[in-house]
């Protein structure tokens, strides 16, 4: 069979509605799932396999031939076989010359081989037009139609026309092709499916570490101290009281940590008098995971809201309330309304509710589906301005809640400050520095630096 004719057919503009035949090498999980989807979308599919026996797992409208015969029937060959078996392709190099060969393979480890699988395939088949695609889509998602999480298909290759042909197939399957450039991008594309929440690692470990620290801190002060000195068994605090102390503290500290790198970066730029020098690596990495820190902070704030809402139905709270009422009855004395206390309690609740509202608003705009629908200025406004409003409200909520007993000696059990006092260190530092940074005498040079001005141009080398 003339191999060139099939190429010509595929490259010619498709004037009829009939789709061109696609060849899939390998009748494994991915090959079958992709073939099934392609047949559904109107593509004739021919499999190249080591065994030409038709099994009932193979889509019933597909043909199964030897690799050489199948390759001759199509201009596009999708290699659904692991890289370690690619050697079998070497004898097929002549048949595959000029054809579009799609590498869909993944590896088991990041940067497992010196070159990407797609580049390796291109070396084995020097005349073929190799394109990398489909590796981020799973066989399960193709088969079950649950493609929401992996609708994007990263495509790369050195031959523009070949890449376009593959992208057309991707679109026809209802997926979204994302052109990632030349075959040099293949290694990165092959690493995508192996990454496990790379931006979440630091925020998650930090949150776990800080939560564990605050848990033992509260356990020592609220349970062990009370047991040792007051002979009260408050071990049940572990279930709700302590978590409801940790959650707001974590939310506030993490929210502070979202804005701290920004003010540190401003100080560094002011000190250096230029924006053209790289920030230290730790600051760069910290800035990159601010969104994740913010979302974890929002999760803690939401838990705090839920824990607070269930407070009135807790048996300990009911007991404490009825004890206060009974003591008034026994003493035949009604305690007068303390308006200062009423003001403080209503104020901290109002600040908390407002703070939580803005927290949710900032969190929602950081989601890709929402952030993609606002322009850069709107995004900056919500993330920066409303973010600072959230930080101010949440800090004020904590200050009003604990302000009056922060200074009382009874708040210092074992000479240790209450965790609410600890939680204020980061946000107050951020707010004080930010306050200084917005003074015109500081803000003006900082704005100039951010617009490209340099105090000492030697830094721009
Ligand atoms: P699989 O179920 O193990 O199928 C691999 C197929 O390769 C076999 O069915 C066999 O087909 C063929 N094969 C095996 N040994 C061979 C050899 N020595 N020479 C020639 N052909 C051989 O694997 P899979 O899950 O379909 O994955 C195939 C490729 O797709 C892999 O590179 C994988 O990284 C990639 N991928 C898979 C998924 C997924 O969700 N499974 C997702 C993205 C990418 P025949 O018996 O028909 O020859």
CA-nearest of 9, 183, 7 to 98 is 7
Rounded to the nearest whole angstrom, what is the distance from the C-alpha of residue 74 to the centroid of ligand 1? 20
Tell me which H or E stretch contains 153: strand 152-157
Which class would CATH give 22-194? alpha beta
| Residue 82 Cα: closest atom of ligand 1 | 32
Closest-CA residue, ligand 1 atom 19, reads: 85
Within 8 A by CB and 6+ apart from 357, the residues are none
What Å distances lie between residue 256 and 322, 341, 348, 450, CA to CA? 39, 28, 19, 23
Q: What is the distance in A from the centroid of ligand 1 to the CA of 42? A: 23
In the predicted structure, residue 192 carries a pLDDT above the cut 60: yes
Distance 24 CA to ligand 1 centre (A): 11
Atom of ligand 1 nearest to the CA of 83: 32
Q: CATH 3.40.50.720 spans which residues of the chain? A: 22-194
Location of each CATH 1.20.120 domain in the chain: 198-451
For 118-144, give one letter per residue: b (16+ CB within 10 A) or e: bbbbbebbeebbbbbbbbbbbbebbee
Q: Which atom of ligand 1 is nearest to the CA of 139?
A: 40
Which residue among 68, 80, 150 has the greatest number of ligand 1 atoms within 8 angstroms of its CB, and so is best to mutate?
80
**Digit-coded pLDDT (tens) for 403-428:** 777 777 777 888 888 888 899 999 99
Centre of ligand 1 to C-alpha 23, Å, is: 14
Task: For tokens 């952030």, name the residue.
Answer: 371
Nearest residue CA, atom 11 of ligand 1? 26
Selection from 39, 87, 84 nearest residue 47 by Cα: 39
How remote is the CA of residue 25 from the centroid of ligand 1, in Å? 9
Q: Collapsing DSSP states into helix, strand and coil, what is residue 112? A: coil
Alpha-helical runs (H) found in 310-338: 315-330
Q: 278-301: string of b/e by CB count within 10 Å (b at 16+)? A: ebeeeeeebeebbbbbbbbbbbbb
Query: Ligand 1 centre and the CA of 85: distance in Å?
Result: 9
- Yes or no: say if 296 and 207 are a contact pair by the CB < 8 Å rule: yes
At 402, is the pLDDT very low, low, confident or very high (cuts 50, 70, 90)? confident
Give the H or E element holding residue 249.
helix 241-272
pLDDT value of position 383: 85
Which tokens hold the place of 88? 């079998």
What is the Å distance from ligand 1's center to 79 Cα?
8
Rounded CA-CA distance 68/410 in Å is 85
Looking from the CA of residue 64, the nearest atom of ligand 1 is 47
Q: What is the pLDDT of residues 303-338, one digit of tens each?
A: 999 999 998 999 999 999 999 999 999 998 888 888
Binding pocket residue ranges, ligand 1, CB within 6 Å: 26-31, 49-51, 80-82, 85, 88, 104-106, 135, 138-139
- If you classify domain 198-451 with CATH, what class do you get? mainly alpha
Which is nearest to 261 in space by CA: 164, 90, 384?
A: 384
CB 158 within 8 A of CB 182: yes
CB < 8 Å & 24+ apart, contacts of 446-452: 446/266, 446/269, 446/270, 449/269, 449/270, 449/273, 449/274, 449/275, 450/269, 450/275, 452/275
Distance, CA of 222 to chain centre: 36
Spatial contact of 427 and 252, defined as CB atoms under 8 Å apart? yes
Residue nearest to atom 42 of ligand 1 (CA): 138
pTM of the model: 0.74
| Residue-level pLDDT at 54 | 74
- DSSP state, 89? G
Q: Which atom of ligand 1 is nearest to the CA of 193?
A: 43
Q: Which residues of 24-49 are buried (b: 16+ CB within 10 A; e: fewer)?
A: bbbbeebbbbbbbbbbeeebbbbbbb
Q: What is the pLDDT of residues 263-291, one digit of tens each?
A: 999 999 999 999 999 999 999 999 999 99
User: Is 387:258 a contact under the CB 8 Å cutoff?
Assistant: yes
CA distance between the termini of the chain: 61
If you measure from the C-alpha of residue 46 to the centroid of ligand 1, how many angstroms do you get, rounded to a whole number? 16
**CA 164 – ligand 1 centroid, Å:** 25
Give the tens place of pLDDT for each residue, 137-154: 989 888 877 655 568 899
């Amino acid at each position: 069979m003339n191999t060139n004719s099939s190429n010509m057919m595929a490259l010619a503009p498709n004037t009829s509605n009939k789709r061109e035949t696609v060849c899939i090498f390998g009748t494994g999980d991915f090959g079958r799932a992709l073939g099934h989807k392609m047949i559904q979308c109107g593509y004739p599919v021919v499999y190249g396999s080591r065994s030409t026996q038709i099994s009932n797992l193979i889509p019933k409208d597909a043909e199964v031939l030897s690799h050489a015969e199948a390759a001759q029937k199509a201009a596009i060959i999708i290699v659904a076989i692991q890289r370690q078996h690619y050697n079998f392709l070497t004898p097929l190099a002549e048949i595959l010359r000029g054809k579009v060969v799609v590498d869909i393979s993944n590896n088991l480890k990041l940067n497992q081989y010196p070159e990407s699988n797609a580049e390796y395939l291109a070396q084995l088949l020097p005349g073929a037009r190799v394109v990398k695609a489909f590796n981020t889509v799973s066989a399960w998602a193709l088969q079950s139609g649950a493609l929401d999480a992996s609708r994007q298909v990263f495509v790369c290759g050195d031959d523009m026309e070949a890449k376009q042909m593959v992208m057309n197939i991707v679109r026809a399957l209802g997926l979204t092709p994302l052109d990632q450039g030349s075959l040099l991008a293949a290694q990165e594309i092959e690493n995508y499916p192996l990454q496990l929440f790379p931006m979440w690692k630091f925020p998650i470990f930090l949150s776990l570490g800080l939560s564990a620290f605050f848990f033992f801190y509260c356990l020592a002060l609220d349970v062990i101290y009370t047991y040792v000195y007051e002979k009260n068994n408050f071990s049940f605090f572990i279930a709700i009281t302590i978590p409801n102390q940790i959650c707001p503290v974590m939310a506030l500290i993490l929210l502070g940590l979202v804005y701290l790198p920004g003010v540190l970066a401003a100080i560094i730029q002011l000190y250096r008098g230029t924006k053209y020098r790289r920030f230290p690596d730790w600051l760069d990495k910290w800035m990159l995971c601010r969104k994740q820190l913010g979302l974890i902070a929002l999760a803690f704030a939401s838990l705090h809201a839920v824990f607070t809402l269930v407070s009135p139905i807790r048996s300990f709270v009911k007991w404490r309330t009825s004890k206060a009422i009974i003591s008034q009855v026994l003493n035949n004395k009604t305690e007068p309304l303390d308006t200062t206390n009423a003001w403080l309690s209503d104020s901290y609740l109002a600040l908390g509710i407002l703070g939580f509202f803005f927290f949710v608003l900032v969190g929602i705009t950081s989601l890709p589906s929402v952030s993609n629908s606002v322009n850069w200025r709107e995004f900056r406004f919500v993330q920066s301005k409303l973010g600072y409003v959230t930080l101010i409200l949440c800090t004020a909520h904590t200050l009003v809640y604990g302000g009056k007993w922060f200074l009382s000696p009874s708040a210092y059990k074992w000479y240790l400050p209450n965790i609410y006092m600890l939680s204020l260190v980061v946000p107050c530092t951020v707010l004080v520095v930010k306050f200084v940074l917005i003074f015109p005498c500081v803000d003006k040079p900082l704005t100039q630096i951010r617009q490209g001005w340099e105090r000492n141009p030697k830094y721009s080398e």
